[in-house]
Structure 1
Amino acid sequence: MKILVIGPYWVGDMMMSQSLYRLLVQRHHSAQIDVMAPAWCCPLLNRMPEVSQALAMPLGHGALALGERRRLGRSLRQSGYQQALVLPNSFKSALVPFFADIPQRTGWRGEMRYGLLNDLRTLDKQAFPLMVQRYAALAFDRRTMRSAADLPTPLPWPRLMVSAAEQAQALSTFVPEATRPLIGFCPGAEFGPAKRWPHYHYAALAEALIHRGYQIALFGSAKDQAAGEAIGDALPADARGHCHNLAGQTSLEQAVALIAACRGIVSNDSGLMHVASALDRPLVALYGPSSPDFTPPLSHQARVIRLISGYHKIRQGDDEQGYHQSLIAIQTDRVLSELETLLAPQEEN
């Protein structure tokens, strides 16, 4: 069976979609799964053994580009796809499978997609409370999938593959200090500082870990570089040489290899948090106004710290630096304690 998946646009969503691919392979052992997604997602897809081919979507997230989508769809008509699974809920995301004339086009109803999708599902958000469940449900006939209780138990969680050689190469390139084990921090987050644990808390945690014999790597995109610099600047002079600001310095592929090589990760609610979870790294995930109730880290090695309940607006923070009070209130000692508990089995070996 040959399946085209129109994949998500965000790192965290892309990671959670792997559960769907794993289910498809379990159900159809000879399935060929091709995933069309933004080019920057391809390093993630290439590390998912269930994905046969990553197809770079040449159009931007906000572009309708009807003519281009028609040409792209028609170029796929001879590819032999029997089913398309459309994961984003937008109207435009369903256009390529429609123009490709793929016989079965499956997805949630979303933005007025009648006709574009001929296997249209109506989502009951209470019945499928987690995003990973909503993706996974698309692997099954809609008549048998009325709620998350109908899904297989346990769901196969996302798992990326990174070889030991790739980890060693990344370490030698970016973190040449080989004598200290590496702890990774992911201090960035979408929507700005309101979803970020304050830089001064990260600095205090980094100082404590450095004094315990670790070194620190700060991961993120170029827009997170300033946050990384703030963490480094807040460290005492004798600790700064053991803290490496790699935000904006690595490709996503290199960052994945480095995260896989870390002894543990501390992260805000971000795409890299889900990458660390899919690499099954010991992970402390810090949540404030955003909620883990919809998109939690999917790993038994993950611990979530959140001091509030319910959903809160995340566009702005409470203090002059834009941090949310619920994240300010998470103390360094609590995070260090959770991380050390996760690291203990490794330290004993």
Structure 2
Amino acid sequence: MTALSDAPETPPSPVRPGGRPLLIVPYMWIGDFVRCHSVVRLLKAQDPERPIDVLTTAMVAPLLDYMPGVRKGIVWDLPRKQLAYPKHRALAARLRPEGYGQALVMSRKWKAALAPFLAGIPVRTGLVGEMRFGVINDLRWGEKKLPRMIDQCATLALPKGAAQPPEWPMPMLVAPADEVAAWRRRLGLGGSRPVAALAPGAVGPSKRWPAESYGEVAQKLAQDGFDIWVLGGPGEKPQAEVIAAIGGERVVDLTGTDLRNAILALAAANVAVSNDSGLLHVAAALGTPTIGIFGPTSPWHWAPLNPIAATIETTTLVPCRPCHEPTCKMGHHACMRDIPSKTVIEAALKATRRIPT
């Protein structure tokens, strides 16, 4: 492995408080990226003076502007399903002048650790996986057996062998009120009515509550005086159209914009309703009252660390759940289709104190 490196291999050594900066290499999905702020907070509690940078893709980079404790993001898009060695060498050349003393590599993929290795970062901490001996030189063996991803990732920020705390620091996103207000003015979204933000998307169709059900939520909340904002990427346009057709004229389609718009919309909203998706974690970390809808995934494993107003699951016995599959192998999607819109509407109204709790 040493032949790959442009710098001599250095054995792991402790970094003095306030010393060389640290690089976090997180998972690049929105929800997992939000979770990595728990690691930032944990590191800052240990050493408030140590600079912390985060490797990021262009898509999730806006999150870093709202994460306290992060010095800067290193924006670099790497192909997901190919090695692209020249791109890793180029990234290593970008990292080397930063003088990082340590990299925390969350993913167990071999290539996730390649650029930190090529950059000569002396301490490269990560879980055992994909024969990364040498590329990762501070290997954590037992941590990969921990049941939740947040447990596996956050323990990398602890000294080797340290006991896991009862709770991890919760992720925190802070959107300045003046920025939120300016965003609303720019998009013409002022007004005194409360706002319900709906996030009907998710990675994999099995995690998506039907758009028609979201439309019923939009219709009822609009009748109760809410403006409705539908959030998501370009892939959520079809759901937004269904929701608007059912929900009526107070529905505003904000899908297809970038993540910064979604962050500011969720910060402005009075309540958010979301599938188990990245925007669920964004809303919760912003402190917006949030309703999370779970079907094929387990809330214990994947719900935000932040408290949310309600976790909605079907009360119907569905023997195959949680399957954690991106598509329903049974073909009935009962774990999501059997969740009535009335349940979600009541939870949203309770979260905004519009009916007794």
The TM-score with structure 1 as length reference comes to 0.90
Whether 1:300 aligns to 2:310 is no
Give the distance between the partners of 2:349 and 2:194, measured in 1 at CA.
Answer: 13
CA RMSD of aligned residues (A): 2.1
Q: 1:242 aligns with which of 239, 243, 250?
A: 250
SS where residue 293 of structure 1 aligns? helix
Displacement after TM superposition at 1:302 (Å): 3.4
Q: Kindly provide the amino acid, as one letter, of the partner of residue 4 in structure 1.
A: L
CA contact under 8 A between 1:187 and 1:197: conserved in structure 2? yes
Whether 1:97 aligns to 2:116 is yes
Evaluate the alpha carbon distance shift between residue 121 and residue 73 of structure 1 in structure 2; reply closer, same or farther with a 3 A threshold: same
Displacement after TM superposition at 1:60 (Å): 2.3
Q: 2:327 aligns with which of 300, 316, 339?
A: 316
1:147 maps to none
Q: Kindly provide the amino acid, as one letter, of the partner of residue 246 in structure 1.
A: L
Gaps of 5+ in 1: 145-149
CA contact under 8 A between 1:198 and 1:323: conserved in structure 2? no
2:80 maps to 61
Give the distance between the partners of 1:313 and 1:291, measured in 2 at CA.
Answer: 8
Give the distance between the partners of 2:228 and 2:89, measured in 1 at CA.
Answer: 47
CA contact under 8 A between 1:175 and 1:244: conserved in structure 2? no
Give the distance between the partners of 1:300 and 1:59, measured in 2 at CA.
Answer: 33
Evaluate the alpha carbon distance shift between residue 119 and residue 338 of structure 1 in structure 2; reply closer, same or farther with a 3 A threshold: same
Aligned residues: 333
1:214 maps to 226
Q: Kindly provide the amino acid, as one letter, of the partner of residue 33 in structure 2.
A: M
Displacement after TM superposition at 1:318 (Å): 7.6
2:265 maps to 258
Displacement after TM superposition at 1:304 (Å): 1.0
Q: Kindly provide the amino acid, as one letter, of the partner of residue 236 in structure 2.
A: D
Deviates more, 1:330-339 or 1:12-21: 330-339
Cα-to-partner distance string for 1:299-324 (whole Å, 9 max, x where unaligned):
223321122575315333489xx771
Displacement after TM superposition at 1:174 (Å): 3.1
Cα-to-partner distance string for 1:38-82 (whole Å, 9 max, x where unaligned):
111110012111110100113222231112212321443332211
Give the distance between the partners of 1:81 and 1:253, measured in 2 at CA.
Answer: 28
Q: 2:147 aligns with which of 116, 129, 141?
A: 129
Give the distance between the partners of 2:322 and 2:340, measured in 1 at CA.
Answer: 21
Whether 1:176 aligns to 2:189 is yes
Percentage of pairs with the same residue: 34
Q: Kindly provide the amino acid, as one letter, of the partner of residue 234 in structure 1.
A: I
Whether 1:186 aligns to 2:199 is yes
Give the distance between the partners of 2:72 and 2:187, measured in 1 at CA.
Answer: 29
Give the distance between the partners of 1:107 and 1:120, measured in 2 at CA.
Answer: 5
1:28 maps to 47
SS where residue 71 of structure 2 aligns? strand
Give the distance between the partners of 1:326 and 1:180, measured in 2 at CA.
Answer: 33
Q: Kindly provide the amino acid, as one letter, of the partner of residue 301 in structure 1.
A: I
SS where residue 59 of structure 2 aligns? helix
SS where residue 106 of structure 1 aligns? strand
Gaps of 5+ in 2: 1-18
1:162 maps to 175
Give the distance between the partners of 2:99 and 2:204, measured in 1 at CA.
Answer: 40
SS where residue 183 of structure 1 aligns? strand
Give the distance between the partners of 1:175 and 1:209, measured in 2 at CA.
Answer: 20
Give the distance between the partners of 2:308 and 2:259, measured in 1 at CA.
Answer: 22
CA contact under 8 A between 1:196 and 1:323: conserved in structure 2? no
Give the distance between the partners of 1:266 and 1:304, measured in 2 at CA.
Answer: 10
Evaluate the alpha carbon distance shift between residue 187 and residue 75 of structure 1 in structure 2; reply closer, same or farther with a 3 A threshold: closer
Evaluate the alpha carbon distance shift between residue 277 and residue 323 of structure 1 in structure 2; reply closer, same or farther with a 3 A threshold: farther
Cα-to-partner distance string for 1:101-126 (whole Å, 9 max, x where unaligned):
11110011122211100001124555
SS where residue 285 of structure 1 aligns? strand
Evaluate the alpha carbon distance shift between residue 285 and residue 323 of structure 1 in structure 2; reply closer, same or farther with a 3 A threshold: farther
1:329 maps to 338
Displacement after TM superposition at 1:293 (Å): 2.4
Q: Kindly provide the amino acid, as one letter, of the partner of residue 47 in structure 1.
A: Y
1:340 maps to 349
Displacement after TM superposition at 1:154 (Å): 3.3
Give the distance between the partners of 2:77 and 2:214, measured in 1 at CA.
Answer: 37
Give the distance between the partners of 1:318 and 1:211, measured in 2 at CA.
Answer: 37
Deviates more, 1:33-42 or 1:75-84: 75-84
Give the distance between the partners of 1:298 and 1:76, measured in 2 at CA.
Answer: 31
SS where residue 301 of structure 1 aligns? coil
Q: Kindly provide the amino acid, as one letter, of the partner of residue 331 in structure 1.
A: P
Give the distance between the partners of 2:94 and 2:224, measured in 1 at CA.
Answer: 57
CA contact under 8 A between 2:292 and 2:308: conserved in structure 1? no
Give the distance between the partners of 2:58 and 2:71, measured in 1 at CA.
Answer: 16
Whether 1:9 aligns to 2:47 is no
Displacement after TM superposition at 1:37 (Å): 1.5
SS where residue 54 of structure 1 aligns? strand
Cα-to-partner distance string for 1:237-291 (whole Å, 9 max, x where unaligned):
xxx210111110x221121011000000010111111111111111110011122
